[in-house]
Structure 1
Amino acid sequence: MLISIFQNERLPNEIMSSWKKAAKVNQKTHRERHQPEIRSHLGLLEKKKDYKARANDYNAKRRTLKTLKKKVLNKNPDEFYFHMINSRIEDGVHHEICEEDEHSPEQIKLMQTQDMKYVDLKRRVEASKIEKMQSRMHIIDVANETSNKHIFFVDSKKEAKEFDLASRLDTHPSLISRRINRPRLSDLKTLTLPSVDSKTLEKLTKERSNAYKELRKRVEREKELLTIQRKLEVKRHLQNKKEEPPIRVAKGTKDSAPIYKWNFERKK
């Protein structure tokens, strides 16, 4: 009797646990619908997590703008703060006024020397990369665009009028504009071209154009670094107070450093 009573007491708990497990197994998972095929041209359908992220970003920016507007409205135009006298604007550019005792002249020269060394290092790296790319690439288009002359001499005016450039060069008339890779007629007869499909040809053309773009950008960057290096060198020479101030011959531009003329001084 005691055993049967205990079993009857444990029975409801076992039934409840098994019912909960069955309810979890049979429970349907509700998912957000995907974008219908008819509206697939509109892109991905925004889910709740995407909306929450966008809404949180919008509300954070809104609170920031509200705080900034409140600060502007509560600002006293006659209020004094020390940054007024520790900074100035020259030619539309904001500059900080450093204290005279903050850095010694030796420290300033050392910092400028480090800057020059860093710029020179970056310029040398770009120059080495340009050299490697130029050795790896055949700059054919540049050779074809180069304007040069090829003079042919003839014996009489009649021969000059009847002169045929294609027959003289022994090539096809459509290949006369080429300055390189201009095969002869005898070579064209024995030449066998590989079969290349349009996709492969388009891919190779795209890779070549990307390589030329990268090379052009690296050349421009190397020129900019060289200009910066020259400007730093001129600035360092101008800070030498022992010499007489030089005469500026040409003003500096974004593509060139300023040109100064120093008085000749014979060194012992």
Structure 2
Amino acid sequence: IIIKIHYCEPALKFKMSTWKKAHKSIQNLHKERHQPEARQHLGLLEKKKDYKRRATAANTNRNILSKLKRRALNKNPDEFYYHMINSKTEDGVHHEKPVENVRTPDQIKLIHTKDLKYLNMRKKMEDRKIDKLKGNLHLLEAVGKPSNSHVYFVDSKKEVENFDLANHLQTHPALISRQYNRPRLEDLEKMNLPEDNTIVEKTSKNYLQGYTELARRLERRNKIRVTERKLEIRKLLADKKQSKPKKVKTEKRDRAPVYVWQYERKR
């Protein structure tokens, strides 16, 4: 008897996870029953997820209460902390004791006075630096500069029509708008003007930096003025001898509050 055995490879190889996914497509859908009609007045029927949420919350609360009870039993009645000096317990709730003001009204006034003196000193320093910058820059492009006028008198109307201001001032037409350092043509011929544009660009850059610094210092002086005014108002409000003022405008970042005091006749 001759027996022949042949090996045949499987056509497809499936993994176990593939069969599990395929099995899910044919399994029955699990449905939870709803509340019977006779018990509709009791509301919706509690599902398993609702029970799990309620059970988890109950177990968490039970564990917290057991820890607190254990901590209360293990507590030493003679236990002391330095924080107990500045706190007290009312109806089982901890409260901080109010801290007394360690500064007297006279000391507060003195502190405000020193702050005002310092701000006044800083404002004067900024004013001096601003005046120095204005003198160096001449504020050529300043907004709101005064419109100066100069009147020239001639003998006839014909001269008015043919009047040439650059020829009259003996200067270049591009320099007419300058109010300072307006050289004449003969002076321009004697000058050694820079032919390199780098020198002109460097000068323009220096002027731009000067105007930027001037704008920054003007803004800083304005902030110092607002802070000084706020301190003055606070100092006046701290004075208990005066009557209570009426608030007209609220305090803002760029403005101090406005109060109106009742007029009192001086004896």
TM-score under structure 2 length normalisation: 0.51
> Residues 132 and 148 of structure 1: is their aligned pair in 2 closer, same or farther, counting only changes over 3 Å?
closer
Q: Say whether 1:139 aligns with 2:138.
A: yes
- Alignment match, 2:120: 120
Q: Which runs of 5+ in 2 are unaligned?
A: 1-97
**How many residue pairs are counted as aligned between the two chains?**
170
- Alignment match, 2:259: 260
Runs of 4 or more, structure 1, over 6 Å off, are: none
For the residue of structure 2 that corresponds to 1:106, the secondary structure is: helix
Aligned-partner Cα distance in 1 for 2:196–2:111: 58
> Residues 204 and 166 of structure 1: is their aligned pair in 2 closer, same or farther, counting only changes over 3 Å?
closer
Bigger Cα displacement from structure 2, 174-183 vs 224-233: 174-183
Higher share in helix? 1
- Alignment match, 1:21: none
Contact 1:144 1:180 in 2 (8 A): no
Contact 2:233 2:257 in 1 (8 A): yes
| Cα displacement (A) at 1:225 | 0.5
- Alignment match, 1:169: 169
For the residue of structure 2 that corresponds to 1:141, the secondary structure is: coil
Aligned-partner Cα distance in 1 for 2:132–2:117: 23
> Residues 253 and 162 of structure 1: is their aligned pair in 2 closer, same or farther, counting only changes over 3 Å?
farther
- Alignment match, 2:152: 152
> Residues 162 and 197 of structure 1: is their aligned pair in 2 closer, same or farther, counting only changes over 3 Å?
closer
Aligned-partner Cα distance in 1 for 2:142–2:187: 22
Aligned-partner Cα distance in 1 for 2:143–2:126: 26
Q: Which runs of 5+ in 1 are unaligned?
A: 1-97
Larger radius of gyration: 2
Aligned-partner Cα distance in 2 for 1:242–1:140: 48
Q: Say whether 1:201 aligns with 2:200.
A: yes
Aligned partner letter, 1:192: M
> Residues 103 and 143 of structure 1: is their aligned pair in 2 closer, same or farther, counting only changes over 3 Å?
closer
Aligned-partner Cα distance in 1 for 2:250–2:129: 32
> Residues 266 and 110 of structure 1: is their aligned pair in 2 closer, same or farther, counting only changes over 3 Å?
same
> Residues 131 and 246 of structure 1: is their aligned pair in 2 closer, same or farther, counting only changes over 3 Å?
same
> Residues 180 and 129 of structure 1: is their aligned pair in 2 closer, same or farther, counting only changes over 3 Å?
closer
> Residues 260 and 153 of structure 1: is their aligned pair in 2 closer, same or farther, counting only changes over 3 Å?
farther
Aligned-partner Cα distance in 2 for 1:140–1:110: 41
RMSD over equivalenced CA pairs, Å: 3.3
Contact 1:154 1:160 in 2 (8 A): yes
> Residues 167 and 213 of structure 1: is their aligned pair in 2 closer, same or farther, counting only changes over 3 Å?
same
Aligned partner letter, 1:170: Q
Aligned partner letter, 2:149: K
- Alignment match, 1:12: none
**Identity score, percent:** 42
Q: What do the CA deviations read for 1:56-101 (whole angstroms, capped 9, x no partner)?
A: xxxxxxxxxxxxxxxxxxxxxxxxxxxxxxxxxxxxxxxxxx8453
